[in-house]
Chains A and B, each alone.
Chain A
Amino acid sequence: MHTILTVDDEPHVLKIMRAHLEDANYAVLTATNGEDAIEMVRNHPEIDLVLLDRAMPGIDGLEVVRQLKQKGSPHAHIPVIMQTAKVQDYDMYEGIDAGAINYLTKPYSREMLLATVENVLRDMDAIKAHYARR
């Protein structure tokens, strides 16, 4: 079973992600701000993927990705999917440029969320299997 860390300052958005992901048999952890998200990644090596809101008070989503993905970070291998309500191309560019592997824009459906998450995890598993064989 895969473990996903969901990060958002809106309790309702967290609740929706938890319901959809648990329904699809993922283990779900939550954090409500950037500081807690980084702390969770440090303390939970079982985390396979982070679903991260972009706009949060304090350390925002962009900064969290940058920290996780910076050179020498022990967590750089964990894929991050960013989500936001912003809609301009430039917002997506900033997220991907900071290190996010994909981008979800609100409002998105359960199907869109699960397909995006499954794609990333499938690729991660395939890469792991590939290197295990060599």
Chain B
Amino acid sequence: MPPTETLRGEILDSKILLVEDDPLSRAVLGGILRREGFHSIEEAENGRIGLSKLPQFRPDLIISDILMPEMDGFALCAQVHNDPDPEIARTPILIQTGLTQESDKAKIFAAGATDYLSKPIDAQEVIARLVLHLERGLILKRLQKFNGHLAHERGETIEPEKLEGEYWSFKRLSGTINSLLDEIELSHYDIKQAKEKAERANRIRTEFLASITHDFKTPVHCITNFAAMGISALQKGKPEPLPEYLNDILSNGTRLDSLISDILDFSKIESGHMDFQLKPTAVRDIASRAVAFTRAPALAKQIQVQYDSSLTHDIVMADARRLEQVFVNLMSNAIRFSPHHGYLYWKFEQSSMRIPGTELDVPAITIRLRDEGPGIPETELQSIFEPFVQSSQQPRKPGSGSGLGLTICRRLLQAFYGTITASNAAEGGAVFTIQLPLHTQT
């Protein structure tokens, strides 16, 4: 579609202003745009600096964070819309937000934003929304220009040399119609893609339902049966096994509870409704909190925990509560697979990493947790991060996993630009390796 191709060229020539205080987020966004082919990008650390760049840079679109020092995203929106220059006042603004409540989104639109980008940033979403608004702006400009021509033509008598002008305006009209038709075709294509996506989502949901039905039924079976056994023991006047049955009910109830939390977390993450608050967070503190949290099951198997850290600086940008959830999950797995009297080894090291989906290399922290369990079969090192896949080594018993834990860990870490991988240690046992970008002060 040649006309759309030229439109695409024009879109990529658009000037984009990035307003974001976190240097890592700024670099990631910039990387996504440059990789797509955008080349006129200006960056600003806060609303005030962004505003000062408007008269000279004259961006076609602004992407801004909400929470920033000096001038936040809401204030920036208001300032842009009140600009005396009507062209600047009309600049579309996309607001990035980690807030997911519908009322928060309403607030963003009320402040005058054109659209929002949900955090954690998804490259496809960024490009799709960006292209949509830039394209709309370009087509609007063309139509305005064409309208001007028409009005101009109507007011004049047709003179021989005017005919040529008439011809050209007709040509332009058919050109505009053609490109509009292309737009329509393109949106058909989008609809087709959306349909395929919906069908895929539906299939995943069906598998998801089949899987959770299975996982829910066993603890429910145990709870109802132990309760029935307890009642029958009481009726027979033999209450001796009651405490044991109650304990069995408790542990199966706990298992159901963690299953439900995992499934809720998973569906929240999948639908982009997980709330995150990215703040500077000390990794070792979070790890020791996770170790404290899992002390009871570790003590029950007399498992010891060892630390090895060469870090001088251990601050990352993360949601502390969610990072703790990741560490607790890894600790629980490690404890479950460890032999009695085994050791768990935490290791923290300075390293560097490439931000996933970009060509950006940044200083990072590598966190390793090794256990002395049976390890993970080589064929499963990747698949254990897929939803509902459990290791075939799984010692299944009440309290065992939902098959979602590691999937949730990976998705949570992605939100912090981090990665997680599994491997086997040469000396035996499974190793989970997390990498998170080091937070550098601005």
Residues of A within 8 A of B (CB): 9-13, 15-16, 19-20, 55, 57-58, 85-88, 105-110
Are A107 and B220 closer than 8 Å at their CB atoms? Answer: yes
CB contacts between A and B, total, < 8 Å: 64
Are B225 and A86 closer than 8 Å at their CB atoms? Answer: no
- Measured in the bound complex, the distance between the Cα atoms of B396 and A10 in whole Å is 6
Look across to chain B and name the residue whose beta carbon is closest to the beta carbon of A16. Answer: B225
Taking CB atoms, residues of chain B closer than 8 Å to A86 are: 210, 213-214
Taking CB atoms, residues of chain A closer than 8 Å to B213 are: 85-87
- Measured in the bound complex, the distance between the Cα atoms of B220 and A16 in whole Å is 13
B174 at interface (Cβ–Cβ under 8 A)? Answer: no
Are A10 and B397 closer than 8 Å at their CB atoms? Answer: yes
- Measured in the bound complex, the distance between the Cα atoms of B241 and A15 in whole Å is 12
- Measured in the bound complex, the distance between the Cα atoms of B397 and A87 in whole Å is 21
Are A13 and B222 closer than 8 Å at their CB atoms? Answer: yes
Are B229 and A85 closer than 8 Å at their CB atoms? Answer: no
Are B226 and A16 closer than 8 Å at their CB atoms? Answer: yes
- Measured in the bound complex, the distance between the Cα atoms of B347 and A35 in whole Å is 38
Are A107 and B396 closer than 8 Å at their CB atoms? Answer: no
Look across to chain B and name the residue whose beta carbon is closest to the beta carbon of A86. Answer: B214
Are A15 and B228 CB-contacts (below 8 A) given A88-B210, A106-B217, A108-B221?
no
Are A106 and B396 closer than 8 Å at their CB atoms? Answer: no
Are A57 and B396 CB-contacts (below 8 A) given A16-B226, A87-B213, A110-B228?
yes
Interface residue SS majority, chain B: helix
- Measured in the bound complex, the distance between the Cα atoms of B135 and A10 in whole Å is 58
Are A110 and B394 CB-contacts (below 8 A) given A85-B214, A87-B213?
no
A57, A105, A107: the one within 8 Å of B225 (CB): A107
B254 at interface (Cβ–Cβ under 8 A)? Answer: no
A sample of 18 more A-B contacts (CB under 8 A), given A16-B222, A16-B225, A57-B392, is A10-B397, A11-B397, A20-B225, A57-B393, A58-B392, A85-B213, A85-B214, A85-B216, A85-B217, A85-B218, A86-B213, A106-B221, A107-B220, A107-B224, A107-B225, A109-B224, A110-B228, A110-B232
Are A57 and B229 closer than 8 Å at their CB atoms? Answer: no
Taking CB atoms, residues of chain A closer than 8 Å to B229 are: 16, 19-20, 110
Are A107 and B217 CB-contacts (below 8 A) given A10-B398, A12-B252?
yes
Are B221 and A13 closer than 8 Å at their CB atoms? Answer: yes
Taking CB atoms, residues of chain A closer than 8 Å to B252 are: 12
Taking CB atoms, residues of chain B closer than 8 Å to A20 are: 225, 229
B248 at interface (Cβ–Cβ under 8 A)? Answer: yes
The smallest beta-carbon distance between B233 and chain A, in angstroms, is 10
Residues of chain B in range 354-402 having any CB-CB distance to chain A below 8 Å: 392-394, 396-398
Are A106 and B218 CB-contacts (below 8 A) given A57-B392, A88-B210?
yes
Taking CB atoms, residues of chain B closer than 8 Å to A58 are: 392
- Measured in the bound complex, the distance between the Cα atoms of B248 and A16 in whole Å is 10
Interface size of B as a range: 20 to 34
- Measured in the bound complex, the distance between the Cα atoms of B217 and A107 in whole Å is 6
Are A85 and B221 closer than 8 Å at their CB atoms? Answer: yes
Which has the most chain B C-beta neighbours within 10 Å: A85, A88, A108?
A: A85
Look across to chain A and name the residue whose beta carbon is closest to the beta carbon of B217. Answer: A85
Taking CB atoms, residues of chain A closer than 8 Å to B226 are: 12, 16
Look across to chain A and name the residue whose beta carbon is closest to the beta carbon of B394. Answer: A57
Look across to chain B and name the residue whose beta carbon is closest to the beta carbon of A110. Answer: B228
Residues of chain B in range 209-249 having any CB-CB distance to chain A below 8 Å: 210, 213-218, 220-222, 224-226, 228-229, 232, 248
Q: What are the 10 closest A-B residue pairs judged by CB atoms, nearest first?
A: A85-B217, A107-B221, A106-B221, A16-B225, A12-B222, A106-B217, A85-B214, A9-B396, A107-B220, A57-B392
Look across to chain A and name the residue whose beta carbon is closest to the beta carbon of B236. Answer: A23
Taking CB atoms, residues of chain B closer than 8 Å to A105 are: 217
Taking CB atoms, residues of chain A closer than 8 Å to B397 are: 10-12
- Measured in the bound complex, the distance between the Cα atoms of B225 and A12 in whole Å is 10
Look across to chain B and name the residue whose beta carbon is closest to the beta carbon of A105. Answer: B217
Taking CB atoms, residues of chain B closer than 8 Å to A109 are: 224-225, 228
B210, B215, B217, B248: the one within 8 Å of A15 (CB): B248
Taking CB atoms, residues of chain A closer than 8 Å to B214 are: 55, 85-86
User: 22 interchain pairs (CB within 8 A)?
Assistant: A10-B218, A10-B222, A12-B222, A12-B251, A12-B398, A13-B221, A16-B225, A16-B226, A16-B229, A20-B229, A57-B394, A85-B221, A86-B213, A86-B214, A87-B217, A88-B210, A106-B218, A106-B220, A107-B220, A107-B224, A110-B225, A110-B228
- Measured in the bound complex, the distance between the Cα atoms of B214 and A110 in whole Å is 20
Taking CB atoms, residues of chain B closer than 8 Å to A107 are: 217, 220-221, 224-225
Look across to chain A and name the residue whose beta carbon is closest to the beta carbon of B226. Answer: A16
Taking CB atoms, residues of chain A closer than 8 Å to B393 are: 57
- Measured in the bound complex, the distance between the Cα atoms of B392 and A6 in whole Å is 22
Which has the most chain B C-beta neighbours within 10 Å: A12, A57, A88, A106?
A: A12
